[in-house]
Every structure is written in structure tokens, then in C-alpha cells.
Structure 1
Amino acid sequence: MLLTLSTTRLVHQMNRTITIAEYDRIYANDTFQGIKITKKDIQELKDFIDESNSESSSMSDYLRPIRNGVQANQYVGVLQTKSGLTIEILPKISRTHPNDEQVRELFIRMLRTAKRIDGKNFGQANLSTHKKPILELFIAMFIAEVDSILKRGLKSSYITKQSNETFLKGKLLLQQQIQHNAINKAKFYTEFDEFEVDGAENQLIKTTLSYLLGVSHDPRNQRLMREQLVYFEKVQVTFQPQIAFQKVSIKRQFHYYEQALKWAEIFLKQKSFTSFKGSSLAFALLFPMDKIFEAYIANKMKKALPHLKVETQEQRYFLFDGDDKSKSSYRLRPDIVIRSALESEQVVIVDTKWKLLKADGPSQGDLYQMYAYFTRYSHYSESLAKVILLYPKSDDYKETTFKSLDFSNNELKIGAKIEVRYVDLFSQTLEDQLQNLHANK
């Protein structure tokens, strides 16, 4: 656990929260949204980057050091310095959409499609009424899962215990009996099983509640967690969550524990899409927006086109031919491939791009990638209708179609067809937009 309970109380007293967007910068000694950014804040963030850079993944992918400050990259979520600065990083579309509350709601909706933290019991109605920072929304989602457990009942199981008793209970441990009771013959050092609620699953939930009680600044979240902790009075806090997670055993009748334990793992082990080690920050829960966007669109696409096969991250084909094992390094992996049950129907490939297009349009690299998909899938005798570069809505560049011409058998035909299309993520008609995306072949 990254914070001891005493440390969290100290952090809790220092409620300094700022909201930025992807790629925004903050500097030491600046006053940002009425909050003074100290040199210590910036130094802790830079120390965090240095520590993480020694791991297999580079923290500079998520947060980049700049002169006298740091810059956010394409990761969204929340992090907190030990000096008490909480930085909420929103999706960059917040620059074009002034309502931060709606941007938070959109982000949580998108995040729910990522299997690792599917907040299935946290309804959209709750999201619209809780005007909270992202961290408080995460905490509220965990509270909702714990509430579901309490309504269905805490898991009880046989717990193996060792104790020095005044009567023989269970199995006598001879070595401990000699060590502890060589003089006092009236006691028995025994090992026995008791049916209790103090199992690993409940210990992890209580530990997470206790931890978050010191992290949260929201009065409602704090009140609910205090109320929930009453039900865990006979459960111990674990100071070795890694070991406790290894002991977790969820059988079918206790499947309702699964989601709360996923959240506990996120908070206690920092297991989001990225897992950071080091001691310079209190915590960091950061999520890559390109993957979140891709998962969200794929999820909505499956709902919008239930009669079609919507495959994600397909790996059927290669960029090059031949039997050379090295070709496996160049496997094609489009984000979304849409097929009909009928092989004769044309295929549509969609690659999601989490970018706000400027007036100069898509990058050469993105267009080259789409052209490779079109030509290689056609090479493998797939009947391709088009490939689509799909972006969040932008007013700086119009939707367009790129075509190449194919002259064969003395006939001029359309070769590759690459469309640049948008989705309005804030629209209530997103599934209709995706239906039209496929229908307009």
C-alpha cells in the first residue's frame, strides 16, 4: 500500500486539486485555478518520472519533464503528490467542450467499456448528479460495489488459526506447546478452523475503505465509507495486500465480490492500465486515451451493428509475404474489422485515432497505415469496401475521402478508398452515427 493510514490523514488535510487536459503544462510557483503550485510539487513529479523511467515502461510516456514544470501526455486520470497536490487530467476534448462535468461523465462512460474496471453497478444517473473530480468518481464506484456486497452478505469461510487456549481445541502443535507451555501445563497451543468473515477478500475491502477514507475529500464518500466500515468490525486490516490478493478465492456463490476486488486491486496495487512503482507520489491512476477510445467505439459498434461480426485487434494477415519467421514482426492489427456472416459481403476496417485533427488533416503515417490495410486485405482476397480513420469531432478539418485509381485490363477503377470520419462523443445518437458510418459504403 502506497500510503499508511497516518500519511493519508496528512494528505487529506491538504485539499489542493487542479484540473488540466492532456498535453497541458504546469509550472512551479504558478497559481493554477487558485492553487499555488510549489517547487516541491514539481520536484516530486519529476522524481516520480525518474523512478518510473528505471522500470520497463517509461513514465515520460505519461508525464514529461519540462523546464521548471511538467507536461501531461496522452494519459487521463488522477495523480497526487505527497505534498498534497491532486492533479486531475481530463481528455483533451475538454478544450473544445467547456463543461468539465460533462467531460468527466464522458470519460467515465468510456472507461466502463474497458474490462479491467467495468463499473457496472455505477449507473449513469449517479454520474450526472455527482459533481465530483475523477478520483472521487472512482471512489464512489468502489463504494457502490461494496454496497452491493453488503446487501447480499459478507463472505464467511473457515479461517485457520493458531492460539494458546485453556482447553484442547483442534490439533495440538507440539513444538509450540513445548516452547510456550513447558511451565504452564494448563494451556494448549493448538491449530483450529473457525467459520468467520475475516478472510482475505473482506480484509482487502476493509483495507481499501480505510485507505480511501484518508484520500477522499468528498463528504458524501467519506460518510458512506464510515457507514460501510461498521459492517467490517470483525475484519482485520491487512498491511500485506500483495499476499492477501494471492489468497483470494471467489466461488460462484460469491461472484458479486469480483468487481469490488478489482477496484481494491487498482487502489492498493495501483493496477490500472499502467502500474507505477516508486515512492515520490502518493498514487497515480492513469489510463491511455487511445486505448479507451478504441474500446469505447468497438463496444458501441457491436451494439449498433448486432447483425454483423465486429472483431477488434484482428491479426489474420501480414504486411509481407513469404515463410520467413521475421514476417511475424509485421503482422497487421487493425483496431476494428466489420464483416457480414456472408463471405460475399464487403469488409469495412475502422482504425480509431484519439487526435483532434487540425487544418492540415491526418498524418502521412496514418494514411500509409490505412493504405497498407486496404491493399494487403485485398491481396488476401478480402472484398474491401473501405477503410476508415475515425476521430473525435473536429471543426478544423472536413470529413473527406481519399481514393487511388487502379488501371488494369484497360479499365480504370477505384483502388484504395480511405475515409476520414468523425464521431460526436457527446451526442445521444452515437450508435446511429456508427450505423451510418458502416452503411455509407
Structure 2
Amino acid sequence: MKQWLKGLGMVALFLIGLVLFVWLNYRLMTQVDYPNIDFGYFYAGGRVLIQGGDPYNVPAVEAIYETMGRTRYDPLVKAFPYPLYADFIFAPFALFSLEWATTWWTIFNEVCFGLTFWLLSSTLLLGQKGYARQQGLQFLLVWTLLFFIPSRHFVKALLNGQTSFLTTLLVALFIYAQVQKRYELAGLALLVGLFKPTSFMLLLPLALLWLLPSARRRGWYSFIGGSLVLALPAFLLNFNWINGWLAARTGEGWQIVQRIATVWGTSSALTGMVGMESGFWVLAIIIAGALLFGTWYFSRKLPALQHSPVLSWGIIATLSIYLSLYAFSYESVVLLIPLMGLLELIRHSPHRQKTLGLVGLAVLLLGVPWLLFPLGTPLDEISAGLFPLSMILFSWLVAAQNRNQTDLPPAKTDAMFSAKVVGKASLK
């Protein structure tokens, strides 16, 4: 009887906590201007889809905007901004009223964040048991929450209802699956590259190249199969959807303009130039080339990168966003991946290096972005654009400081950044 009552009490506490959690999210999102946040674009696309319409039909989307009470319009986003199969994700949320759809989407993003932390921590602490694992998990949890939750990029992405938490989860799933040698799951996770093609033009081909050897070829089969599962329903619904999607993104939407989270936006903000004819792209190409060469060089020289798939693939994911032609600062949520890789590397560092590393992360993630935010453009834009760049350089620095460290966790995977693997691939 006592056990039954105890179990009933635990269930009651869980339900009360769940209701409180949902209510707090509802209160949070109804306090912001939720009809005008970015989630409105996805909600409108989902509503048009479940009504049997075309989410790339601008008048149909604008009619939904009117019922939503939306007053802010972005000339670059005339209709649903993603490929048609991505709208399958948003259609279930569009079954609810706008305020509740926004609430459920926010909760979904928070769950994605929690799952991402679990996947990355499981990967980083693989092979550690007992007290050592508990100590490592506490370190990662405390410092991730302290550094990431208050960061401007986390707050901005969450309150705008963006998709960055979902895409970050899929990248983390790929890393987890490759460490566990579950290559079919790794291939499915790479569908993130089809969800946001422009943001993962670097990550997707490199990851597929990593899956090319025969031992991992199952990842290719699952990627191709998953792509067909996504594409076939989209073509059955609207055979001409690709033309509609491209038409909705033509004009200014495809131009390289001042996008603050990319190498192009950083160069534009630093030089004060906008547009391809202005020549700012020369600086952007120099920075991009230096980053690509530096990542290749350091990946072969630093054992810390070879021992950490989370950090190495986190750098590639960050580079993929930073070199994208079309990305905003909310994409910086993907920096959660190299952040956790850095934290695990810092945890194994000597005391002085550990202190300097934590202070450096505090400055990069919290200090500079929030201090420059009230100053407005162009300083705020420059700080947002330099944020992923500084994280990449900081990762190299910390990895270099751990060059001769002997107590690094052993590599648990034939990671892409292993010099031996790269060498064998080049011989072939």
C-alpha cells in the first residue's frame, strides 16, 4: 500500500511539474510579440499545407499572415523559406492556435537542446564510469548551462522560434552515431543538410566523404533512403515545388548581402561595403581560405582534435554556418557542439589552463556579445559575425595547449580528423 501511494505521489508530482513547465512556456511566449517572430513564417507555411494549398504561393501565405495579426514583413521571405518536405515538421504545430503552436514549438526546441546535451555528453564521457563519469557530467552540465543559456544567441534563437535547435540536434546525432559505429543512424542524421542546404554545404559533403569507405557504406544507403522518403511525398503533393521554392527566394534573398553571422557579413561590416560589386568579398575569401587551411593543418597536428570527434566535427559545423552565403546569428546555436568539446578538453587541462579557458569562454560567449549589443550597428553586427570565428580560433588555441597532454581520453572512433585515416585515404 505504501509503495502504491509513493508511486502515485511521484506521478502526481511529475504531472504538476509538467503542467507548470508548459504554463511557464506559454506565459513566456505570450509576453513577446509572437505573431511577428520568425516562427510565424513556419506556422503560415504549415497552415497553408494542411489547408491543401501551396506554401510558396505568396497571396495564400499573406492571407494566413492577416489571420495571425502579423504586421512585420521581411521582403526577403515572401513565402515558406524552406524546401517543401521541411513543412511536414511544422504542419502538426499549425493545427493549434498561434499562441499554443508557438508554445509547443518552444517546448520542442527546449527538448532538442536537452537531447543535444545528452548525446554530446554521452559521446564525450564514453568509457568513463562511476565517480569519474558523474564528475565529468556535473562539470559539463554546470558550465554548459552557465555559458550557453544566458548567451545572446541561445535567447535570440529561442524567442524567435527558430529551427537552430533541431539542426544542432541532428548534427549532434551524427557525431554520436559515428562514435557508436551506428552508420545507418549517422546517414539519417545527415538529412540536416537537406533541411537547410545553404547552412551545411561544407558539413554534408565532408560527412558523406567520411561515410564512403565500405565499412561505413550503410550510412550512404540510409541517407539516400531517407532522402527519398522526404522527397517523394513532397513531389506527390506538388511536383513543381522546387521552382516555387526558388521563386520565393529569388532577388534579394539570394544575393550576398550583409549577413552578420557569416564570413561575408563580417567582411561587409568591417569594410562598410555591401554587394558583390563593392569588393568586400575579397576579404571574405581571404578569411575563408585561412580558416579552411588552418582547420586542415591543425587537425593533422593536434592530438586533442584527433581525440575529440565532438570538437572536430563541431568546428566543421561552425565553419559550415560561418562560410554559408545565407545565415543569421541565430544559427550560432550550433556552437553548443564545439563548446562542449572545449569544456571536456578544458576539464582535462592543468589548473591554470583550466581557469584561463573558462574565463576565455565567459568573455567570448557572454561578455563581448552582450556588451556590444546596446551599441547598435556596426559594432553589434561585427561582434555577432566574429563570434563563430573567435570560437574556432579559441578551439585551436586550447587544443594546442593540450598538445603534449598524456591524460586525454582515448579516441573511441576512427574520427575524420585522425592523421592516420587522412593519410590512408590520400594513398588510395
Same fold (TM > 0.5): no
TM-score by length of 2: 0.25
Quick check: which has more Rg, 1 or 2?
Answer: 1
Is the strand fraction higher in 1 or 2?
Answer: 1
Structure of higher RCO (CA pairs closer than 8 Å, 6+ residues apart)? 2
Is the helix fraction higher in 1 or 2?
Answer: 2
